[in-house]
Amino acid sequence: MNPTATLTDTDFKVADLSLAEFGRKEITLAEHEMPGLMAIRREYADAQPLRGARITGSLHMTIQTAVLIETLTALGAEVRWCSCNIFSTQDHAAAAVAVGPDGSPENPRGVPVYAWKGETLEEYWWCTEQVMRWPESEADPTHPAGPNMILDDGGDATLLVHKGTEYEKAGAVPDPAGAESEELAVILSLLQRSLAEDPQRWTKIGQGIKGVSEETTTGVHRLYQMV
Amino acid sequence: MAVICGFGDVGKGCAESLRGQGARVVITEIDPICALQAAMQGYEIRTLEEVLDSGDIFITTTGNRDIITAEHMERMKHQAIVGNFGHFDNEIDIAGLSHIAGIERVNIKPQVDKWVFPDGHAIILLSEGRLLNLGNATGHPSFVMSSSFSNQTIAQIELFTKNDEYEKKVYVLPKHLDEKVARLHLDALGVKLTRLTDEQAAYIGVPVDGPYKSDHYRY
C-alpha cells in the first residue's frame, strides 16, 4: 500500500471518521472477494504505471469502491473521490478511505473523500467540485489545480468540466431560474459562482485531462452525445 | 406482482432476481427484440397502463425519462412500491407527484417515503426515485464489482500510459483485456478452462490464447 495523497486537516468531508475501523474490516473482507483488483495490484506493484496520475473519481463511495481507490493509489496514483449519487455512499467506507490504512481518525492519512449518505443536491455538486479542484501547492506554484484523469460513473464529473468550459467560453452562465430541473439549476448556480471566482477555472481543468473511463451505460450514452 | 419497465441488461437481472424471490414478473418494453427475449423466458409483457391497478411493485430500469408519471402513480393500488434501478432520477416523475394538490409525503425511514393522495390511498416510494440498490441496500457483491473495477483500473492505466495512441473519442476496452479480467476471476470460482488445439483454433480462425469472439458477438 502506497497512498501518495496526504490529507490536510480539512481536505475531506465524510459523515463520521469514527466509522473508519468498521469500514476497514469490511474493506479487508472485500479484498478477498475482489481477486481481479488484487491481482492487478500484484502485477503492477513494481511498475507503478499510475505514478503521476491525478485521478478524480465520481463513483458510489462503497466498500467495493474503497478497494478500487486503494488499488489506484497502490499503482502510484493520487486520488480525490466523491459519490455519483446522493444516497449511495456507505459512511463507514468513506471514513475508512479518508483515514487510510496507515492513519487514524485523529490523524487521517488517506485519500481526500467528499461523500456521505443523504447529501442535498447542493452538497452533491459541491462535493463534485471539491474533488475536481486539486489543492494548490505553496511549495510548487506550477502544481496543477485539476486532475489529469477522470474515473466517472454516469458522467457527472465529465459534465461539470464540459458545462463549465462551455459557459466560460460564452462568458456567461444561463439563469438557473430558467432551468428545466432542480438539479440543473443547482449546477448552473455553482457555475455562476465559479465563473465570478475564476473565469478560466474549468477551461484550465479540462485542458489538463488526458482521459476519462466511464462505469455505466448511461454515462457512455452521454459521452457519445458529447462527441 | 412486480412490474419491471425495461428488459435491457438491468431489467433482465432485476426480473431474474424478483422471479427468484417468487414474484410474478410483468415486463414493459418498447424494443421488439428485448420483448421477444422476455416472452421466451416466460415473462408476460404488457403496457404500464394495463397493469397499474394490479402491480404490487413497480421498478424502472430503462435509462430513459418520464417512464412512471404522477398520473400513473395516482392510479396504482394502495401501498404499491415504486422504485428506480436506472442511473438517473428522471424515470419516475417525483416533481409531478409532489405538485399534486393535497398530496402528503410521510417519511417512514431514510430513503422510504409514503406519498398519500387526497383520496387517502398511498404509494411507497424508494430513494426519492434514485438508484434503489445503493439507496436502500448496499449494492452489488464485491466479486461482481471486482470485474467492473478491474476494467476501470486497466482503462485508467491504458489511457494514462498510452495517451498518444488514442484520439479524442469514445473507445470500448479491447476484448483481450476483457478476457484478461475474466481470467483473473476464474480461480476463485474453481473454474478449469478447456484449451483449443491448434487445429480447432485454425478451424474457427482465432488465436489459441484469444481473443475468441468477434467484436459484434453478444455474450
Q: Quick check: helix, strand or coil at residue A124?
A: helix
The set of residues, in sequence order, having a beta carbon less than 8 Å from that of A165 and lying 6+ positions away, is A202, A203, A206
pLDDT of residue A136: 73
Are A86 and B110 an interchain contact pair (Cβ–Cβ within 8 Å)?
no
First to last CA, chain B: 30
Chain A residues with CB-CB distance to B112 below 8 A: none
Query: How many beta-carbon pairs under 8 angstroms link A with B?
Result: 139
Name the residue with cell 475536481: A132
Strands (E), chain A: 54-58, 78-82, 113-114, 149-152, 211-214
Are B9 and A217 an interchain contact pair (Cβ–Cβ within 8 Å)?
yes
Q: How far is the alpha carbon of A155 from chain B, nearest alpha carbon, in Å?
A: 10
Answer whether B173's CB lies under 8 Å from B209's CB.
no
Strands (E), A19-137: 54-58, 78-82, 113-114
Name the residue facing A227 among B140, B143, B170 (closest C-beta). Answer: B170
Q: Hey, how many other C-beta atoms are within 10 angstroms of the C-beta on B35?
A: 16
Between CA A96 and CA A64 the distance in angstroms is: 12
Condensed to tens digits (0 to 9), the pLDDT of residues B27-53 reads 999 999 999 999 999 999 999 999 999
CB-based contact (8 Å) between A187 and chain B? no
Dihedrals phi, psi of A46, to nearest 5 degrees: -80, -40
Question: Which has the closest alpha carbon to A225: A165, A164, A159?
Answer: A159
Are B187 and A86 an interchain contact pair (Cβ–Cβ within 8 Å)?
no
CB-based contact (8 Å) between A10 and chain B? no
Are B142 and A67 an interchain contact pair (Cβ–Cβ within 8 Å)?
yes
Question: Which has the closest alpha carbon to A79: A92, A63, A66, A90?
Answer: A66
ipTM over 0.90: yes
Chain B residues with CB-CB distance to A220 below 8 A: 170
> Cell digits for A140?
510548487
Are B156 and A63 an interchain contact pair (Cβ–Cβ within 8 Å)?
no
Alpha helix stretches (DSSP H) within chain B:
9-20, 32-40, 48-51, 70-74, 94-98, 132-135, 142-161, 175-184, 198-204
Chain B residues with CB-CB distance to A53 below 8 A: 156, 160
> Cell digits for A97?
478511505
- Reported as type and span, the H/E element at residue B58 is strand B57-60
**pTM for this one?**
0.93
Between CA A81 and CA A65 the distance in angstroms is: 10
Between CA A56 and CA A151 the distance in angstroms is: 6
Between CA B124 and CA B130 the distance in angstroms is: 13
- β-strand pairing of B122-126 with B112-116: antiparallel
pLDDT of residue B143: 98
Among left, alpha and beta (phi > 0; psi -120 to 50; other), residue A171 is left
Low-confidence spans in chain A with pLDDT less than 50:
1-7
pLDDT of residue A6: 45
Low-confidence spans in chain B with pLDDT less than 70:
none
From residue A73, how far is each of A10, A36, A82, A98 by CA, in Å? 20, 16, 16, 13
Q: Quick check: helix, strand or coil at residue B113?
A: strand
CB-based contact (8 Å) between A221 and chain B? yes
A42 → chain B, closest CA residue: B184
Chain A residues with CB-CB distance to B111 below 8 A: 87
Between CA A146 and CA A136 the distance in angstroms is: 9
CB-based contact (8 Å) between A181 and chain B? yes
The set of residues, in sequence order, having a beta carbon less than 8 Å from that of A55 and lying 6+ positions away, is A72, A77, A78, A79, A80, A147, A148, A149, A150, A151, B156
Are A34 and B155 an interchain contact pair (Cβ–Cβ within 8 Å)?
no
B156 → chain A, closest CA residue: A213
- β-strand pairing of B57-60 with B44-45: unpaired
CB-based contact (8 Å) between A224 and chain B? yes
Answer whether A99's CB lies under 8 Å from B178's CB.
no
Q: How far is the alpha carbon of B23 from chain A, nearest alpha carbon, in Å?
A: 26
- Reported as type and span, the H/E element at residue B114 is strand B112-116
Which positions 103-132 of A are in contact with B (Cβ < 8 Å)? 117-118
Are A224 and B170 an interchain contact pair (Cβ–Cβ within 8 Å)?
yes
Q: Give the Cα-Cα-Cα angle A30, B84, B155 (nearest 5 degrees).
A: 45
Are B156 and A213 an interchain contact pair (Cβ–Cβ within 8 Å)?
yes
Are B149 and A154 an interchain contact pair (Cβ–Cβ within 8 Å)?
no
Name the residue facing A53 among B135, B156, B169 (closest C-beta). Answer: B156
CB-based contact (8 Å) between A137 and chain B? no
Name the residue facing B153 among A37, A117, A219 (closest C-beta). Answer: A37
pLDDT of residue B215: 85
Cis peptide before B211 (omega within 30 of 0): yes
Between CA A83 and CA A94 the distance in angstroms is: 9
A50 → chain B, closest CA residue: B157
Chain A residues with CB-CB distance to B161 below 8 A: 49
